[in-house]
């Protein structure tokens, strides 16, 4: 028994029967999955499948309706506010649009988590920020404002900020979206390098098949709030499931078109953004 | 058929009214929670090694206060001179124009200086706060703060709230002093009352309570402007257009809140 336990990979995220609603709409319908230590888990699915929503729940940005979730072995329902803040220091996120603070320089953006959570002196923080910028091949760009960077550079800078505290888990939301193939491929290499160099677990949400197959250790495929499959790249490729086949072969699935959701997106009236406290 | 349509319109009206009421109550609740949370971070943030940064407060003070001095001085002066002209015109009917100073001192210190300052700060800084927070929300910058373990309320709300609570009363005093000075120049020109006599009259008439009333109102307006700006910014949806709508809404709501609050306070304190 103990041998079996010893051979099981350590899980950094464990989700069990996660149910989530936005208003009256059920977005996640009993999701059970895990992310292992040191692996790159890619979450895929069609538009409206709930993959970005799932990522928000994995980052503990949303309140679930039911289910259990453990991050780094800690049940998030039992954490105090302080423990929760400490846990978040071990997470890094590279958002789809970068989410760099437009009023700060690139260097200040990267130093912000250090400034807020450590007692390091300014010189040390600057050195650390420069080192992280070197890792993402943006050395020398620390004094520029985010508005002066290209889309690919913004994403790289966002990666530098996400890893500045050496997080245990890195979340990436659509890292290749809106980038040309060469830049997207370079970002995939960066994700692999970060995992190999820093040993962190990485969760990536993407709809880019090429990118997913290049970087994934395992892939989770979501469909309408359900998990269709979790498996390695080969297992996913060989799947006989019709919906997975459609997804991999880019065959449109009109059944996925939820009129309410479509209208909400069109008008920008997302239930989560209505009069929401900070 | 017509009766059914009327019934539907009737129900729809109450449905909309009910929804708006719930929305309003929800926003007031959110605003109150943000004020309390800001106070918590201000006074106890250091206990969890997350203090409200003094340089952020000073930066906000510069933006809200120092850069607003010229426009507030100019408008304070213009309003006070207008009041002096109208006061002299009205009192001249009764041959009492030399008493214009009394009315002017009360109305400027207790009402107009805080109100004009509040309205200007709402237009300049309240709207900027709503736009900033709204833009940060749609760019996921607020999510980024949360994931970094940085409280958005501590980082984004507390500094402008504190800065406004300090700077709006200061600007209000400056507006009153400058306004009364400008009105004094006009009165000197029109009625021949010397500036020193005018100043003595004002010092005799005004009590500490009058000044405190003006300062208290300014502090209340400051809280209203900050909370309305933040709540509207936090409720942004729909991209750049949503930011524009939230900015406009925050200015309208803040100015309305200031004027209604002024009326309520003057009823409670004077009538």
Question: Percentage of residues in chain A with pLDDT exceeding 90?
Answer: 49
Nearest-Cα distance to chain A for B36, in Å, is 13
Sheet containing strand A40-45, edge to edge, reads A91-94, A169-173, A201-205, A40-45, A218-223, A226-231
Residue A28 forms beta bridges with which residues? A20
* Of A52 and B62, the one with more pLDDT: B62
Average pLDDT of the residues in B218-225: 96
Distances from the Cα of B1 to the Cα of B5, B15, B132, angstroms: 6, 21, 50
Residue A271 confidence class, pLDDT cut points 50, 70, 90: very low
Predicted confidence (pLDDT) per residue in B50-99, tens digit:
889 999 999 999 999 999 999 999 999 999 999 999 999 999 999 999 89
Residue A264 confidence class, pLDDT cut points 50, 70, 90: low
* Residue B75 tokens, joined: 């408008």
Average pLDDT of the residues in A162-178: 90
Look over chain B and give the mean of its residue pLDDT values, rounded to a whole number: 92
Kindly determine whether residue B142 and residue A278, on different chains, have CB atoms separated by under 8 Å: yes
Q: Is B148 on the interface with A (CB under 8 A)?
A: yes
Q: How far apart are CA A141 and CA A157, in angstroms?
A: 9
CA of residue A260 relative to chain centroid, distance: 26
- Residue A274, pLDDT > 50, answer no
ipTM score above 0.85: no
* Residue B2 tokens, joined: 């017509």
Q: Which of A88, A270, A275 sits opposite B149 (nearest CB)?
A: A88
pLDDT at A275: 45
- Residue A251, pLDDT > 80, answer no
* Of B176 and A6, the one with more pLDDT: B176
HSE-CB of B45 using CA atoms within 13 angstroms? 23
pLDDT at A176: 83
Window 40-79 of A, Cβ < 8 Å to B = 56, 59, 61
Residue A265 confidence class, pLDDT cut points 50, 70, 90: low
pLDDT at A245: 81
- Residue A247, pLDDT > 90, answer no
Distances from the Cα of A59 to the Cα of A9, A74, A92, A207, A253, angstroms: 21, 13, 9, 19, 29
Per the CB < 8 A criterion, the answer to whether B216 and B165 are in contact is no
Predicted confidence (pLDDT) per residue in A82-117, tens digit:
888 889 989 999 998 899 999 899 999 999 999 988
Residue B220 confidence class, pLDDT cut points 50, 70, 90: very high
Kindly determine whether residue B237 and residue A273, on different chains, have CB atoms separated by under 8 Å: yes
Question: Percentage of residues in chain B with pLDDT exceeding 90?
Answer: 75
> What are the φ and ψ backbone dihedral angles of A221, each rounded to 5 degrees?
-110, 120
Residue in B closest to A116 by C-alpha = B50
Predicted confidence (pLDDT) per residue in B169-207, tens digit:
999 999 999 999 999 999 999 999 999 999 999 999 999
> What are the φ and ψ backbone dihedral angles of A60, each rounded to 5 degrees?
60, 40
* Angle, CA A12 vertex, CA A51 and CA A231 arms, to 5°: 55
- Residue A272, pLDDT > 60, answer no
pLDDT at A263: 66
Nearest-Cα distance to chain A for B38, in Å, is 11
Predicted confidence (pLDDT) per residue in B22-49, tens digit:
988 988 888 889 889 999 999 998 888 8
Predicted confidence (pLDDT) per residue in A111-152, tens digit:
999 998 888 999 999 999 999 999 888 989 999 999 999 988
- Chain B residues inside the 8 Å CB shell of A88: 146-149
3-state secondary structure (DSSP) of residue A14: strand
pTM, 2 dp: 0.81
Which single residue is written with the structure tokens 């500094």? B159
The H or E element spanning position A13 is strand A11-22
Residue A162 confidence class, pLDDT cut points 50, 70, 90: very high
- Residue A257, pLDDT > 80, answer no
Kindly determine whether residue A102 and residue B147, on different chains, have CB atoms separated by under 8 Å: no
Q: Is A93 on the interface with B (CB under 8 A)?
A: yes
- Radius of gyration of chain B measured on its C-alpha atoms: 22
Window 94-133 of A, Cβ < 8 Å to B = 95-97, 99-102, 112-113, 116-117
Look over chain A and give the mean of its residue pLDDT values, rounded to a whole number: 86
Kindly determine whether residue A269 and residue B48, on different chains, have CB atoms separated by under 8 Å: no
Q: Which of A161, A171, A268 sits opposite B239 (nearest CB)?
A: A268
- Chain B residues inside the 8 Å CB shell of A112: 148, 150
Q: How far apart are CA B67 and CA B156, in angstroms?
A: 20
Q: Is B237 on the interface with A (CB under 8 A)?
A: yes
Residue B109 confidence class, pLDDT cut points 50, 70, 90: very high
* Residue A221 tokens, joined: 């495929």
* Residue A147 tokens, joined: 């508005």
* Residue B24 tokens, joined: 């309003």
DSSP chain B: -HHHHHHHHHHHHHHHHHHHHHHHHHHHHHHHHHHHHHHHHHHHGGGGT-PPPHHHHHHHHHHHTGGGHHHHHHHHHHHHHHHHHHHHHHHHHTT-GGGHHHHHHHIIIIIIHHHHHHHHHIIIIIHHHHHHHHHHHHTTHHHHHHHTT--HIIIIIHHHHHHHHHHHHHHHHHHHHHHHHHHHHHHHHHH---HHHHHHHHHHH--HHHHHHHHHHHHHHHHHHHHHHHHHHHT--SHHHHHHHHHHHHHHHHHHHHHHHHHHHHHHHH-
**Total residue length of chain B:** 271
């Amino acid at each position: 028994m103990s041998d079996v336990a010893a051979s099981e990979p350590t899980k950094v995220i464990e989700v069990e029967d996660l149910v989530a609603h936005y208003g009256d709409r059920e977005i996640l319908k009993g999701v059970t999955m895990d992310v292992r230590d040191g692996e790159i888990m890619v979450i895929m699915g069609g538009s409206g499948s709930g993959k970005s929503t799932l990522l928000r729940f994995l980052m503990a940005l949303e309140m679930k309706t039911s289910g259990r979730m453990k991050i780094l072995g800690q049940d998030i329902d039992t954490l105090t506010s302080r423990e929760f803040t400490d846990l978040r220091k071990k997470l890094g996120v590279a958002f789809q649009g970068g989410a760099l603070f437009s009023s700060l320089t690139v260097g200040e953006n990267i130093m912000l988590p250090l400034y807020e959570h450590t007692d390091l002196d300014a010189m040390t923080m600057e050195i650390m920020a420069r080192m992280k910028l070197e890792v993402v091949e943006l050395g020398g760009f620390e004094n520029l404002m985010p508005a002066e960077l290209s889309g690919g550079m913004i994403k790289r800078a966002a990666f530098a900020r996400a890893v500045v505290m050496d997080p245990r888990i890195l979340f990436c939301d659509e890292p290749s979206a809106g980038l040309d193939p060469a830049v997207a491929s370079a970002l995939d290499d960066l994700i692999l390098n970060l995992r190999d160099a820093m040993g962190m677990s990485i969760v990536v949400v993407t709809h880019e098949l090429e990118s997913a197959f290049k970087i994934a250790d395992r892939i989770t495929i979501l469909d309408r709030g359900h998990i269709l499959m979790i498996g390695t790249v080969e297992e996913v490729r060989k799947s006989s499931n019709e919906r997975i086949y459609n997804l991999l072969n880019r065959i449109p699935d009109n059944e996925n078109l939820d009129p309410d959701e479509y209208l909400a997106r069109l008008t920008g009236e997302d239930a989560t953004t209505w009069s929401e406290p900070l | 058929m017509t009766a059914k349509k009327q019934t539907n319109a009737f129900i729809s009206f109450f449905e909309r009214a009910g929804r708006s009421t719930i929305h309003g109550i929800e926003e007031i609740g959110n605003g109150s929670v943000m004020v309390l949370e800001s106070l918590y971070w201000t006074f106890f943030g250091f206990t969890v090694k997350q203090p409200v940064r003094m340089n952020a407060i000073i930066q906000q003070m510069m933006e809200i206060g120092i850069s607003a001095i010229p426009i507030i001085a100019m408008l304070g002066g213009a309003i006070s001179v207008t009041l002096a002209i109208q006061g002299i015109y009205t009192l001249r009917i009764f041959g009492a124009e030399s008493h214009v100073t009394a009315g002017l001192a009360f109305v400027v210190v207790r009402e107009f200086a805080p109100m004009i300052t509040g309205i200007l700060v709402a237009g300049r800084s309240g709207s900027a706060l709503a736009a900033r927070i709204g833009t940060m929300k749609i760019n996921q910058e607020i999510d980024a703060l949360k994931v970094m373990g940085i409280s958005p309320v501590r980082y984004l709300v507390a500094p402008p709230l504190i800065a406004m609570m300090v700077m709006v009363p200061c600007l209000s005093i400056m507006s009153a002093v400058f306004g009364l000075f400008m009105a004094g120049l006009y009165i000197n020109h029109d009625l021949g009352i010397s500036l020193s006599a005018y100043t003595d009259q004002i010092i005799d008439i005004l009590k500490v309570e009058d000044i405190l009333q003006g300062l208290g109102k300014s502090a209340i307006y400051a809280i209203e402007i900050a909370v309305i700006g933040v709540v509207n910014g936090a409720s942004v949806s729909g991209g750049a257009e949503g930011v524009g709508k939230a900015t406009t809404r925050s200015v309208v709501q803040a100015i309305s809140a200031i004027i209604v609050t002024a009326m309520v306070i003057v009823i409670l304190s004077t009538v």
